[in-house]
């Protein structure tokens, strides 16, 4: 018998949860509206709170560049203001992220069984912790490795004019990108409790995942040698292994089997 694909698993998960207390479309939309409004208000509060720390955060963001003797270039009169607003906005989003994540949880909670709703605190703690871990890995490990290669090794024959906007885009892509990548176990957690993926499925398809991980590592790795590419791929491979463990622990069929054997 052929193994059901992801779409079939998702349809099966939806049909199995049909006995949960239902909500009308208008109730869903009203609930979404409340979550969005509360998140937007929290984001504005976070922005105002981080505005007073913008100078300190600017120095932190520019440090990987300044350590190599380079400075940011302002090419437009509003570049400095735009830089400060972005710093306060993204910093505020990180500051209030636990509250925003709680709003996300309250929105998806109606689709969860009672025993699954107890994961709210582990969900919030793990989500914030994994994201901050990814940010720290990018800032303290990835950027210090990448900047000398990009600016010194490959850019020594050119005049360096690194603008505020270009550097901010690059910095956010690397730091926030890796932070989001570290959320893979959280995504697998939800797919597992809904019965869409399990550990066996992830193990059987691990060769495709490894291939995609190394392709991604080849794009983000600044050095051309395969050793550096393997170093960049190692955190993502570790995350995939952790995700397999998460799928094994939280898949409902395993829990049902464990309860039956008890």
Reported as a single tens digit per residue, the pLDDT across 95-116 is 999 999 899 888 887 777 777 7
13 within some domain: no
pLDDT of residue 1: 42
2 band by pLDDT with thresholds 50, 70 and 90: very low
- Is residue 90 located within the same domain as residue 44? yes
201 within some domain: yes
190 touches 250 (CB < 8 A): no
Long-range contacts of residues 67-70, Cβ cutoff 8 Å, at least 24 apart: 67/144, 67/147, 68/147, 68/148, 68/151, 68/152, 70/151, 70/160, 70/162
Average pLDDT over residues 197-224: 84
> Is 250 or 49 the better-scoring residue by pLDDT?
49
Q: How many domains does the chain have?
A: 2
- Is residue 59 located within the same domain as residue 150? yes
Domain boundary residue, one of 142, 167, 182 = 182
- Is residue 178 located within the same domain as residue 188? no
- Is residue 235 located within the same domain as residue 225? yes
> Is 67 or 229 the better-scoring residue by pLDDT?
67
> Is 169 or 12 the better-scoring residue by pLDDT?
169
What angle do the packed helices 25-51 and 79-95 form, to 10 degrees?
Answer: 120
- Is residue 31 located within the same domain as residue 140? yes
> Is 227 or 238 the better-scoring residue by pLDDT?
238
- Is residue 90 located within the same domain as residue 120? yes
Q: Is the pLDDT of residue 81 over 80?
A: yes
* Angstrom distance (rounded) from CA 251 to CA 201: 11
16 band by pLDDT with thresholds 50, 70 and 90: low
- Is residue 37 located within the same domain as residue 126? yes
State which residues form the domain around 86: 24-182
What angle do the packed helices 79-95 and 97-108 form, to 10 degrees?
Answer: 60
7 within some domain: no
pLDDT tens, residue by residue, 138-189: 899 888 888 888 888 888 888 888 999 989 988 988 888 888 889 999 989 8
> Is 184 or 231 the better-scoring residue by pLDDT?
184
- Is residue 117 located within the same domain as residue 235? no
Distances (CA, A) of 41 to 13, 44, 205: 34, 5, 42
- Is residue 47 located within the same domain as residue 124? yes
């Amino acid at each position: 018998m052929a193994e059901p694909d992801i779409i079939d698993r998702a349809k099966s998960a939806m049909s199995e949860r049909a006995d949960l207390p239902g909500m009308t479309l208008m109730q869903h939309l009203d609930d979404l509206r409340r979550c969005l409004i509360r998140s937007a208000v929290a984001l504005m509060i976070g922005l105002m709170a981080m505005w007073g720390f913008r100078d300190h955060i600017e120095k932190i963001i520019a440090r990987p560049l300044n350590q190599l003797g380079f400075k940011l270039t302002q090419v437009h009169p509003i570049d400095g203001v735009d830089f400060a607003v972005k710093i306060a906005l993204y910093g505020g989003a990180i500051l209030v992220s636990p509250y925003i994540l709680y709003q996300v949880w309250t929105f998806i909670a109606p689709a969860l069984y009672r025993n699954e709703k107890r994961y709210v605190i582990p969900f919030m703690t793990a989500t914030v912790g994994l994201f901050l871990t990814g940010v720290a890995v990018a800032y303290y490990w990835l950027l210090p490795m990448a900047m000398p290669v990009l600016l010194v090794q490959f850019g020594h024959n050119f005049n360096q004019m690194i603008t505020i906007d270009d550097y901010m885009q690059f910095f956010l892509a690397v730091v926030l990108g890796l932070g989001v990548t570290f959320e893979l176990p959280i995504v697998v957690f939800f797919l597992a409790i809904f019965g869409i993926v399990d550990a066996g499925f992830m193990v059987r398809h691990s060769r495709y995942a490894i291939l995609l991980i190394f392709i991604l590592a080849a794009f983000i790795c600044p050095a051309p040698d395969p050793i550096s590419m393997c170093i960049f791929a190692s955190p993502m491979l570790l995350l995939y292994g952790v995700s397999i463990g998460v799928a094994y622990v939280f898949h409902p069929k395993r829990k049902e089997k464990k309860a039956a054997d008890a």
